[in-house]
């Protein structure tokens, strides 16, 4: 992970600032996180040894409401990454008009190396360390890379133990039995599908003649792949962390999902199977090769910085929908723009997760719970409405969709920051 990831993110902010009228105070505030916390988490391992893990939590901006953002367990987690993800979440919440700010958290480890017992002790230890930094009205964590409803349930339970009261609204993405929301587990992929389907109508291209490659067949990537398959799109390639498969005639996504589910170890929290193990009638390829396939739509749904200045010129897709956070670097943006590729940005496309997390938070606080159909109806309405607004900004100002999304978010953030007082107000 580059140590300049946050600087890279700020380049997008600087570009968007040229097209909005907000105070210097507001633009300066948005360049820095409000609060960043680094903690150590001692965990007694199953063999009796003690390991200390590094954990992070960042509240980037809470002008529009309490901060919101996931917790990831990954070997590459560091402060720069977490701050950058919290930055993106700030703009994502504003772009979707959610009354929330941006936050993020993580622990540096390979979670596949830990047992369920060790993961539980680690998850509860993390909450012990950051309990004073989060809360239903302060900062609300959620699942992210390699975290899941079970882990969120442990964390919510630990926070409730510390506070000596049941606090379901402190964590979202929980199991349904602990106050989770219908539709939350699939929300990122579902929301991305709503955006993709709505935006592709603008190009007058039918699903049956549209080819798609999905990098990252995890929670979000597998969901959007299934929904696109059911809608008639031709999914020609998918991949996970171990590699991918390609079939020019189209993959049967339910079969790929069934194979991966069957190959995983039922004894572990994380799967050990890989889609690249499917070799019959398919061509095995790497994640890097998948990114350069000659397809209509490319969906990066894995990790950050997958498309950079080093490989952007090789990308052949006409449309890119960012389901992952930050899969394209700022340098690569300029190359893809020059090639005429439409990039639908992460702060719009993958906002389904935080939107349904917001729904879960609302349901926890009100005590009224919605059906999955109600959740998806609300999600579709919000995602498509904001996608249309961003599309119009892009067309009216003749700017890339990413810049348009930041302009859209900046208008709302600027209004909120200016309401607290600016230089112009005090010295007039």
Backbone phi and psi for residue 257, each to the nearest 5 degrees, phi listed first: -65, -40
CB-based contact 276:263 (threshold 8 Å)? no
CB-based contact 138:159 (threshold 8 Å)? no
Backbone phi and psi for residue 329, each to the nearest 5 degrees, phi listed first: -75, 165
CA distances from 274 to 214, 254, 263, 380 (A): 14, 15, 7, 31
Length of the chain equals: 428
Strand-strand pairing, 139-143 and 211-215: unpaired
Backbone phi and psi for residue 285, each to the nearest 5 degrees, phi listed first: -145, 165
Strand-strand pairing, 243-246 and 234-240: antiparallel
Radius of gyration of the chain (CA): 21
Verify whether residue 112 is a known catalytic residue.
no
Instruction: Give alpha helix (H) positions in 164-286.
Output: 187-200, 219-230, 253-263
Closest CA to 221 of 269, 284, 290: 290
**18, 38, 92, 104: which one is catalytic?**
104
Closest CA to 139 of 178, 167, 162, 170: 170
Residues forming the active site: 104
């Amino acid at each position: 992970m580059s140590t300049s990831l946050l600087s890279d993110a700020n380049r997008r902010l600087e570009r968007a600032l040229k097209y909005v009228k907000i105070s210097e105070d507001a633009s300066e505030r948005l360049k820095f996180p409000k609060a960043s916390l680094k903690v150590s988490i001692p965990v007694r391992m199953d063999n009796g040894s003690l390991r200390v893990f590094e954990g992070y939590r960042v509240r980037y901006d809470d002008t529009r409401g309490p901060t919101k953002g996931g917790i990831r367990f990954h070997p590459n987690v560091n402060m720069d990454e977490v701050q950058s993800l919290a930055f993106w979440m700030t703009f994502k919440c504003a772009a979707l008009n959610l009354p929330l700010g941006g936050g993020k958290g993580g622990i540096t480890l390979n979670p596949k190396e830990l047992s369920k017992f060790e993961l539980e002790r680690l998850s509860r230890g993390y909450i012990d360390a950051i309990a004073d930094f989060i809360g239903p009205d302060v900062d609300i964590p959620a699942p992210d890379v390699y975290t899941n409803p079970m882990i969120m349930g442990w964390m919510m339970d630990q926070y409730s133990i510390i506070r000596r009261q049941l606090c379901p609204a402190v964590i979202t993405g929980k199991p349904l039995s602990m106050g989770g929301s219908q539709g939350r587990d699939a929300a990122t992929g579902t929301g991305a599908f709503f955006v993709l389907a709505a935006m592709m109508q603008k190009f007058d291209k039918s699903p049956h003649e549209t080819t798609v490659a999905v990098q990252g067949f995890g929670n979000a990537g597998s969901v959007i792949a299934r929904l696109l398959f059911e809608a008639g799109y031709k999914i020609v390639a998918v991949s996970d962390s171990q590699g991918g498969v390609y079939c020019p005639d189209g993959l049967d996504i339910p079969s790929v999902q069934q194979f991966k589910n069957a190959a995983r170890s039922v004894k572990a929290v994380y799967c050990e199977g890989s889609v690249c193990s499917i070799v019959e009638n398919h061509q095995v390829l790497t994640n890097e090769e998948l990114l350069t396939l000659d397809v209509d739509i490319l969906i990066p749904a894995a990790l950050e910085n997958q498309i950079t200045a080093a490989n952007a010129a090789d990308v052949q897709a006409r449309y890119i929908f960012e389901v992952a956070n930050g899969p394209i670097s700022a340098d690569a943006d300029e190359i893809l723009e020059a090639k005429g590729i439409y990039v639908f940005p992460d702060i719009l496309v993958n906002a389904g997760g935080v939107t349904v997390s917001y729904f879960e938070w609302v349901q926890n606080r009100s005590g009224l719970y919605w059906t999955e159909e109600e959740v998806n109806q609300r999600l579709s309405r919000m995602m498509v409405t904001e996608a249309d607004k961003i599309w119009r900004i892009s067309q009216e100002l003749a700017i890339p969709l990413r810049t348009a999304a930041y302009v859209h978010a900046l208008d709302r953030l600027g209004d909120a920051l200016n309401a607290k007082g600016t230089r112009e107000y005090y010295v007039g």
